Amino acid sequence: MEKWCDYGISNASKENGEITEVYVHKDMGDYFQPIGVMTEKQVIALIDKGFSFITILWGYPKWWQGAEVSVINGQSRRYLRTDKDETEKDNLLNLPLILI
């Protein structure tokens, strides 16, 4: 299988409607290797360094490719986004919650 990205995000943790953490997997080509929980700031820093992220959804027996994750500069802070509309907020809302 061809790599889709550098990292996939499968789950998200939200506080007051904003993403705080995401569960990250490294795209190994033939499979996604679980890395673990990263903060939103850690993911933004990796995107700033040129690493690519997408959302991934588990659909037994394999992962399904979601949307490209990017960063948007809001008035008060930076956000993770999967589209580039005019809304200034996190929008990884369709991902399952991180359950720890």
pLDDT at 98: 75
Average pLDDT per run of 10 along the chain, which is 100 residues long? 93 86 96 96 97 93 91 88 63 70
Range 30-60 burial, b when 16+ CB lie within 10 A, else e: eebeeeeebebeebbebbeeeebbbbbeeee
pLDDT at 85: 54
What number of CA atoms fall less than 13 Å from residue 86's CA on the CB side? 0
pTM: 0.87
pLDDT at 55: 92
Show me where the domains of the chain are located: 7-81
pLDDT at 74: 84
pLDDT at 16: 82
